[in-house]
């Protein structure tokens, strides 16, 4: 029988957040972390704690969530990956699994994260794929929205775009890039990469910038909202289902 060594495993995860109550485990509710820990516990025959790079809210999806867990096992990472993907009965896929440095932590070692937010911009909605984009029927001014994205790029206090309920020492974050582009004639994508994000920050930014796209506020008014450091000054929270965690970056 092979000797079981303790390893720290780093995993890359994709999931459809539609049916989940977010990433973080909850009692009696399906979550991504909870499902992963349950299946990994069966495969490895021990209690597993999965640490994610951060919490995604209920309904938010991920192309590239990163997590790590410690386990005593002689199973190689590829067998663990295949085992989880064959056993898990939820829309979760482990794309990569490897042994990493003992001290690696998916949350504390992350240097930046990138999110994508998708909008369907046409008169009629869609029957297929509606759970992956926010439908806005009125025409959006992409130039006005990009001006707002530019105004949110840099180091700022993002209190105006933070919902309450998230512990943090500071509301200052650095946004490295923030763009809005056409995917095709009817679909738009916001792409934002930052050192970190406050609670609902991406969705609140998008919800406010869409007001500029609808010509309800100007880019100058967006700057005033940014500087106000007051959530009541900003726009609505964009729906969760348009948001994807694209990637997590490490040094």
Catalytic residues: 57
Tell me the C-alpha distance between 73 and 4, whole Å.
5
Q: Domain ends where: 100, 127, 159?
A: 100
Total domains present in the chain: 2
Task: Evaluate whether residue 205 is within a structural domain.
Answer: yes
Please indicate, yes or no, whether residues 94 and 151 belong to a single structural domain of this protein. no
Q: Please return the burial class of 99, using the count of CB atoms within 10 Å of its CB with bins 0-12, 13-18 and 19+.
A: middle
One digit per residue, the tens of pLDDT, for the chain of length 251 reads 456 889 999 999 999 999 999 999 999 999 999 999 999 999 999 999 999 999 999 999 999 999 999 999 999 999 999 999 999 989 999 999 999 999 999 999 999 999 999 999 999 999 999 999 999 999 999 999 999 999 999 999 999 999 987 667 899 999 999 999 999 999 999 999 999 999 999 999 999 999 999 999 999 999 999 999 999 999 999 999 999 999 999 98
What pTM was computed for the model?
A: 0.95
**pLDDT reported for residue 192:** 98
Strand partners, 173: 156
Residue 174, in any domain of the structure: yes
Same domain, 120 and 173: yes
The answer to whether residue 59 is domain-embedded is yes
Please indicate, yes or no, if residue 106 is contained in any of the structural domains: no
Predicted pLDDT of residue 4: 80
Could you tell me where the DSSP H helices lie in the chain? 32-44, 77-87, 142-151, 201-213, 219-228
Q: Is residue 196 packed enough to be buried (19+ CB in 10 Å), middle (13-18) or exposed (0-12)? A: middle
Q: Are residues 85 and 135 in the same domain?
A: no
Residue whose tokens read 């989940």: 20
Same structural domain for residues 86 and 177?
no
58 and 125 in a common domain: no
The Cα–Cα gap between 2 and 5 comes to 9
Q: What three-state secondary structure class fits 225?
A: helix
Tokens, residue 93: 């896929």
- CB within 8 Å of 133: residues ≥ 6 apart: 118, 119, 120, 126, 187, 241, 242
Domain span at residue 81 reads: 5-100
N-terminal to C-terminal alpha carbon distance within the chain: 38
For residue 154, being part of any structural domain is answered with yes
Q: Are residues 146 and 243 in the same domain?
A: yes
- Out of 68, 100, 132, a domain closes at 100
């Amino acid at each position: 029988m092979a000797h079981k060594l303790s390893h720290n495993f780093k995993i890359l995860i994709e999931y459809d957040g539609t049916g989940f109550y977010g990433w973080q485990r909850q009692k009696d509710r399906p979550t991504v972390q909870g499902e992963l820990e349950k299946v990994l516990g069966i495969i490895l025959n021990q209690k597993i704690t999965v640490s994610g790079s951060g919490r995604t809210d209920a309904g938010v999806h991920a192309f590239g969530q990163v997590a790590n867990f410690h386990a005593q096992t002689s199973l190689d990472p590829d067998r663990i990956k295949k085992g989880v993907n064959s056993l898990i009965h939820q829309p979760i896929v482990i794309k990569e699994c490897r042994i990493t440095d003992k001290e690696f932590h998916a949350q504390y070692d992350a240097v930046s994260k990138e999110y994508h937010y998708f909008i369907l911009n046409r008169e009629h909605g869609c029957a297929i794929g509606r759970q992956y984009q926010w439908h806005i029927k009125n025409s959006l001014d992409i130039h006005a929205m990009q001006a707002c994205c530019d105004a949110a790029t840099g180091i700022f206090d993002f209190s105006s775009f933070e919902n309450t309920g998230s512990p943090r020492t500071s509301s200052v974050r650095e946004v490295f890039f923030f763009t809005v582009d056409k995917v095709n004639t009817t679909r738009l994508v916001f792409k934002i990469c930052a050192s970190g994000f406050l609670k609902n920050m991406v969705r609140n930014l998008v919800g406010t910038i869409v007001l500029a796209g609808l010509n309800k506020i100007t880019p100058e008014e967006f700057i005033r909202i940014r500087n106000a450091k007051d959530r009541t000054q900003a726009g609505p929270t964009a729906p969760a289902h348009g948001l994807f965690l694209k990637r997590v970056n490490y040094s």
